[in-house]
Amino acid sequence: MSKVKLTQTRQAKGISQEELADLIGMTQSNYSRRENGHKKISEVEWVRIAKELGVEKDTIYEPDEETTPKLTAVKMLQFSIPNFVLEHIELLKKENKILKEKLKQFKNQNVNP
Beta-strand ranges (E) seen in 1-113 are none
- Whether 96 is in a domain gets the answer yes
Here the CATH number for the domain that contains residue 28 is 1.10.260.40
- Whether 69 is in a domain gets the answer no
Same domain membership, residue 56 and residue 9: yes
Q: Please write the tens of the pLDDT for every residue from 43-101.
A: 999 999 999 999 999 999 998 876 555 555 555 556 677 888 889 999 999 999 999 99
- pTM of the complete model beyond 0.75: no
Same domain membership, residue 48 and residue 96: no
Q: Please write the tens of the pLDDT for every residue from 25-41.
A: 999 999 999 999 899 99
- Whether 74 is in a domain gets the answer no
User: What local confidence, expressed as pLDDT, does residue 99 receive?
Assistant: 96
Number of domains in the chain: 2
Domain extent for 84: 80-111
Same domain membership, residue 8 and residue 44: yes
Instruction: Name the DSSP class of 13.
Output: T
User: What local confidence, expressed as pLDDT, does residue 23 receive?
Assistant: 92
Residue predicted with more confidence, 84 or 9: 9
Q: Which of 68, 70, 26, 23 is nearest to 50 (CA)?
A: 23
